[in-house]
Structure 1
Amino acid sequence: MVVRRSGPESDPTGGDVGVIGDSVGAGAVGDSVAARRELAAARITEPRLRAAYLHSRWLNARHGRTYFLATRLLPASRRPAVHALYGFARHADDIVDGDLPRAEAAARLTALDTALGAALAGRPCDDPVFTALADTVNRYEIDPGLFTPFLRSMRMDLTTSGYATRAALEEYMHGSAEVIGLQLLPVLGTVCDRASAAPRAAALGAAFQLTNFLRDIAEDLDRGRVYLPADELAAHGVDRELLSWCRTVGHADPKVRRAVADQVERTRRVYRRAWPGVALLRPESRPCVATAFTLYSRILDAIAEAGYDVFAGRAVVGTSRRLALAASTMVRTAALPPPRRAPLRRRQPVYTGPGARSFAVGRSRAGRSNRGGPVGEHIPITSTKERR
């Protein structure tokens, strides 16, 4: 369920309000009745350890609101461990996505790695994030080796601005997303051998992150990064220059819309690979993961409903819609085994008709961008009814 964000706001659905039962203020979340209930259920009684877990819980509620919502669907005893894993991932992410010079960010990642090693070895630590993480790793026997590829991918963000192929992108995502799913498996619990569920958990982490990449294309460009395979974009006539032009003018060229539609469908295939893994989890963990699956996959629907124009505005799922989806998914998966077919919508056509402006006519003779006039034709990519 955890996924590393790629933009400054880690809420995958773009919401900006509090979630069920808690304010997002540090004091309210950190010392709420729900927080104390979670710690009691997990039998966390030592004051310093309680404070560390409360800090991680605040980080989750403040920065990962939809993720925090899904976490609330877990049994109370397991939520502190999820907060601890999120807190560490957020810690590293803030370093690479902040405004630090590259050399300083690299030095901080090295220090983070050293502190992690010390905490996992049982040495005292002043940072509450590491204190909670080390306790979670010990409690649930999480493989410490999973943190090595995670930090490797974090370092890649400091040196890599694009990925030539999907294989190159998948190497990055193994550390930044897939291992997060693997870290969570012991916390969620499985009804089968853990190794049998691992590929599905890894796929779900990848699906969530690919969704973030598509939603955050514009924001990542501002950081000089493109998290989509260059060869797959090139198949639609799209390169970094065209993406940058779209960012400047605030709308997507028709070729970019086609490329994004292709990436949305590729990502939905990853979701389909991941879905059978929900049934492999312990029944009490399924509502949480199924809800996260639904909320993240609906971002793809929002992108499609916007005509695959990720530059005109951020694809979001409204708060009321999030809560309704969470409630309905929880009821379905709590009462019955998850359905065999993944709850995904069908592909929608790419709209390149009236109102769609292209890179070619959106450039002035001097090479400066402008809004241009309507251009292009409607080129459906499926047999479904055209958008009007």
Structure 2
Amino acid sequence: MTGARVPQIDRGYRYSAALIADHGRTYHLAAQLLPAANRRGVSALYGFARIVDDIVDHADDEPLATLTHLDAVLAAFDATVRDGSTGDLVATGKLSQMEADVVAAAADTARRWTIPTEYFTAFGRSMRMDVPGAEDFVNRYRTLEQLRCYTYGSASVIGLQLLPLLGVGDQAPDSPTATAAALLGEAFQLTNFLRDVREDLDRDRIYLPTDELLTFGVDEAHLRRCRAARTTSPQLRRAVAHLIAINRGLYRRATPGIALLPRRIRPAIAAAAASYAEILTVIESPATDIMATRAVVSRRRRLRHAVEALKG
């Protein structure tokens, strides 16, 4: 590491700390329970994922520009992990200074904690799947297995990246904690898809597996009629209930691994899992219509989950 790059890395860690404090409350809470060096790393990984996600959010407005920008950030990260420099990309306008700094901090974290590069490769692949014009762009998923190809990179690997920073000793891919981290990421993502089906449909995306929906008589035309009427039909409610059961199975399978986490970090992760899982209860309530409103868990309930996790 050259001395000239240290200020850039330090700026990147500071930017990332601000991002996680503002936008990543669950990660931020967990990070506060860690030593400073680990905490900085968690922030850097969150910051990197955040800037990539912000880029992808513009995919529908400017797909070609988004893809160029995304590929520049991903390539800069790969090069910086190999101890390259992002300065030339800033000079050419491919990355902002903030993006280059966050990339530098995330790459520094990846090296310091020996995080497998394939986790970042999988993350980049899934992000490209969300950008129209990319050769691997997908906005419909027929089966749960096809959806898992996406959620592995978009969510499961985030948990796997964090394991060394959370103080987990055994990080082998088939270890109980790694299995739980991947399952919990997948569970969170599927919960998001069930909660956000209306918003995703407005962006011409259907993340709920279409084969699973068709089993209950729900095709894309049916979904769009529900969206136009701002109501969830009985058929769609049955399909969603089926997917909620699958989703709850993911949370159950992750639970034994959460119990193996270091004591000081376990309550934050357990509370986050409980709060996210309760979104499913809100979704299936007769008082909630996912085609008209967004399911949320009250602050009071989230605080109760935190208290219960601390007692556990």
TM-score by shorter chain over 0.5: yes
Aligned residue in 2 for 1:260: 240
**2:144–2:209 contact (8 Å) kept in structure 1:** yes
Aligned residue in 2 for 1:26: none
Identify which range, 129-138 or 118-127, moves more after superposition: 118-127
**2:11–2:102 contact (8 Å) kept in structure 1:** no
In structure 1, stretches of 5+ residues that fail to align are: 1-45, 334-388
The structure 1 residue matched to 2:217, chosen from 237, 258, 272, is 237
Q: Map 1:1-388 onto structure 2 (within 5 A).
A: 48-98=8-58, 99-125=60-86, 126=97, 127-158=100-131, 159-190=137-168, 192=170, 194-195=172-173, 196=175, 197-306=177-286, 309-329=289-309, 331-333=310-312
**Structure 2 CA distance for aligned equivalents of residues 138 and 314 of structure 1:** 39
**Structure 2 CA distance for aligned equivalents of residues 319 and 128 of structure 1:** 34
**1:261–1:304 contact (8 Å) kept in structure 2:** yes
1:101 corresponds to which letter in structure 2? Answer: E
Identify which range, 164-173 or 188-197, moves more after superposition: 188-197
**Structure 2 CA distance for aligned equivalents of residues 201 and 145 of structure 1:** 16
1:111 corresponds to which letter in structure 2? Answer: A
The root-mean-square deviation of aligned C-alpha atoms, in Å, is 1.9
- Greater helix fraction, Structure 1 or Structure 2: 2
Shift of 1:324: 3.0
In structure 2, stretches of 5+ residues that fail to align are: 1-5, 87-96, 132-136
**Structure 2 CA distance for aligned equivalents of residues 109 and 146 of structure 1:** 17
Shift of 1:323: 2.5
**Structure 1 CA distance for aligned equivalents of residues 194 and 292 of structure 2:** 13
Q: Quickly say closer, same or farther: Cα 1:223–1:326, change in 2 above 3 A.
A: same
**Structure 2 CA distance for aligned equivalents of residues 105 and 308 of structure 1:** 35
**2:26–2:268 contact (8 Å) kept in structure 1:** no
**Structure 1 CA distance for aligned equivalents of residues 279 and 34 of structure 2:** 22
Q: Quickly say closer, same or farther: Cα 1:168–1:193, change in 2 above 3 A.
A: closer
SS at match of 1:283: coil
**Structure 1 CA distance for aligned equivalents of residues 32 and 188 of structure 2:** 18
**2:275–2:301 contact (8 Å) kept in structure 1:** no
Q: Quickly say closer, same or farther: Cα 1:305–1:66, change in 2 above 3 A.
A: farther
Q: Quickly say closer, same or farther: Cα 1:67–1:238, change in 2 above 3 A.
A: farther
**1:70–1:292 contact (8 Å) kept in structure 2:** no
SS at match of 1:172: helix
Deviations 1:252-291 (A, max 9, x none): 1111111111111110001111111112322222122112
Deviations 1:12-56 (A, max 9, x none): xxxxxxxxxxxxxxxxxxxxxxxxxxxxxxxxxx65433321211
Shift of 1:135: 1.7
Q: Quickly say closer, same or farther: Cα 1:68–1:231, change in 2 above 3 A.
A: same
Larger Cα Rg: Structure 1 or Structure 2? Answer: 1
Q: Quickly say closer, same or farther: Cα 1:251–1:70, change in 2 above 3 A.
A: farther
| Aligned residue-pair number | 287
SS at match of 2:190: helix
TM-score of the superposition, structure 2-length normalised? 0.85
**2:126–2:153 contact (8 Å) kept in structure 1:** yes
Aligned residue in 2 for 1:43: none
